[in-house]
Amino acid sequence: MPRFEEARQLILEHIAPLGIEKVILTEADNRVLAEDILAPWDMPRWTNSAMDGYAVRSQDCRQPSVLRVTGFLPAGARSVEEVAPGCAIKIMTGAPLPPGADAVVPVEETEASADGVRIINPVAQNAHVRFMGEDVRCGECILPRGSLLRPAEIGMLASYGKVFVPVFRRARIAILATGDELAELGEVFSEDKIINSNTLALHAAIKEIGGIPDILGIALDTREDHLEKLTEGLKADALITSAGVSTGDRDFVRPVLEELGARNLFCKVDIKPGRPTSFAVRDGKPIFSLPGNPVSTMITFEELVRPALLKMMGHTRIIKPLFEATLTTNLDKKRLGVLNFQRVSVELRDGRYFASCAGDQNTGILKTMVRADALALLPEDKDRFAAGETVRIHFLSHQATMLEG
């Protein structure tokens, strides 16, 4: 039975990025770039004005002076007229700097004059000038392979006229719940049934990271139904099952997967919750068999499945960073020698994180998961962590790192 880090590493060793496709730029947000993008020209493409004002010769403006205005240069135009000594050309932001000029005086630092424009203060050479190539040089790698395309990256690509961009394909992930005791959301069911919430939670988690969830429904507790639905699930890029991974008489997931040619790499992980988590591969496709308890399902997805799916879709930052947090309540473990993931609430005060127990840590208590901002990783060698001690945490969402005190 591997420890947590060993299990995660074993999974990632069997994951490869999916294929590449080209998508239109307006649909490329939150995708992962599949090739280096080199700048085809300098940015800016020409030396230009950073302000609305007047293009001048700085040597004419070493002291307050009046300059004759000889022209007007809007953005999108180019001047062939040179700024002569004692003269200025009115210029708009982004317009190419005219010949002879080496500075721009913002309009608010000037006064109208009968003879032209009065320059109030001395002007330094290169003031308010944006130089050709000062942002990006032609041939420079503007975005490396593996970049996540956020608004800034989309803007950069648009600046270079990229209509289509090469990105890694989004993974299609099949989701299969198992068990006669389950009923689908909206279905009329008897009191001895429970709603299949795991599928919907996994569906949301997959969408959150950019995957394409494919719900297969519920496999009844028969070999035949498992065989049919698992066969269908293996057509996806990856398969996630929920429940039915133990060795009971009605736990069919592992034996049917073996029947279908899947190679099991581990069937338990030395963590709590989530110990009966299995990982297998078939024809290079990963298969994650998660425990049926809703909290265990979500935590094992977060810790073991999420990094693998991100790697499949080309991400390079796949492991969430760990932060130190000071406990404001005690945290206790039930078993020594096992890495424990506990749900905690987090506050940010004076630049430091403070964590407290989010509630009952029993894996049947879903509301504690709802209340949690983060998971605290409690190491194997201790079973009690007192208020005031420091623990390692990672957040459950990007928003949690924006907490205010």
Residue 18 and residue 287 in contact, taking contact as beta carbons nearer than 8 Å:
no
CATH architecture of 23-41+143-168: Alpha-Beta Complex (3.90)
235, pLDDT greater than 60: yes
395, pLDDT greater than 80: yes
Residue 115 pLDDT level (bands cut at 50, 70, 90) = confident
Residues 297-336: pLDDT tens digits?
999 999 999 999 999 999 999 999 999 999 999 999 888 8
Residue 405 has what pLDDT? 40
Locate 90 and state its tokens.
Answer: 């009115």
Residue identified by tokens 């490869």 is 16
Residue 24 pLDDT level (bands cut at 50, 70, 90) = very high
- Preceding peptide of 273 cis, ω within 30°: yes
106, pLDDT greater than 60: yes
Largest CA distance in the chain: 99
- Taking the C-alpha atoms of residue 54 and residue 105, their distance in angstroms, rounded to an integer, is 5
Report CA Rg, the chain: 30
**Mean pLDDT over all residues of the chain?**
93
Sign of torsion, CA 269 270 272 275?
positive
Class of domain 4-16+170-312 as given by CATH: alpha beta
Residue 404 has what pLDDT? 45
Give 248 or 222, the one with higher predicted confidence: 222
Residue 388 has what pLDDT? 96
pTM: 0.89
401, pLDDT greater than 90: no
Residue 322 and residue 394 in contact, taking contact as beta carbons nearer than 8 Å:
yes
Burial of 217 (0-12, 13-18, 19+ CB in 10 A): middle
Region 202-222 average pLDDT: 95
Residue 387 has what pLDDT? 97
72, pLDDT greater than 60: yes
Residues 130-153: pLDDT tens digits?
999 999 999 999 999 999 999 999
Least confident span in 74-78, 137-141, 216-220, 374-378: 74-78
Beta bridge partners of 288: 240, 279
Region 47-75 average pLDDT: 95
Region 364-380 average pLDDT: 94
- Preceding peptide of 96 cis, ω within 30°: no
All structural domains of the chain with their residue ranges: 4-16+170-312, 23-41+143-168, 48-130, 323-402
Neighbours of 357 (CB within 10 A): 21
Residue 403 has what pLDDT? 52
Region 363-386 average pLDDT: 93
Helices assigned H by DSSP within 4-150: 4-13
Residue 79 has what pLDDT? 82
Residue 396 and residue 374 in contact, taking contact as beta carbons nearer than 8 Å:
yes
Please give the share of the chain, as a percent, with pLDDT higher than 70.
Answer: 96
Region 365-373 average pLDDT: 94
Region 17-39 average pLDDT: 96
Of 65, 64, 42, the residue nearest 130 (C-alpha): 42
Same topology, domains 4-16+170-312 and 323-402? Answer is: no
- Taking the C-alpha atoms of residue 175 and residue 66, their distance in angstroms, rounded to an integer, is 75
Locate 178 and state its tokens.
Answer: 């198992």
- Taking the C-alpha atoms of residue 171 and residue 314, their distance in angstroms, rounded to an integer, is 10
Residue 328, CB-side half-sphere exposure with 13 Å CA sphere? 13
Of 55, 48, 50, the residue nearest 119 (C-alpha): 55
CATH for 323-402, options being 3.40.640.10, 3.40.50.720, 2.40.340.10, 2.60.40.10:
2.40.340.10
CATH architecture of 48-130: Beta Complex (2.170)
Residue identified by tokens 């099949």 is 174
Residue 249 has what pLDDT? 60
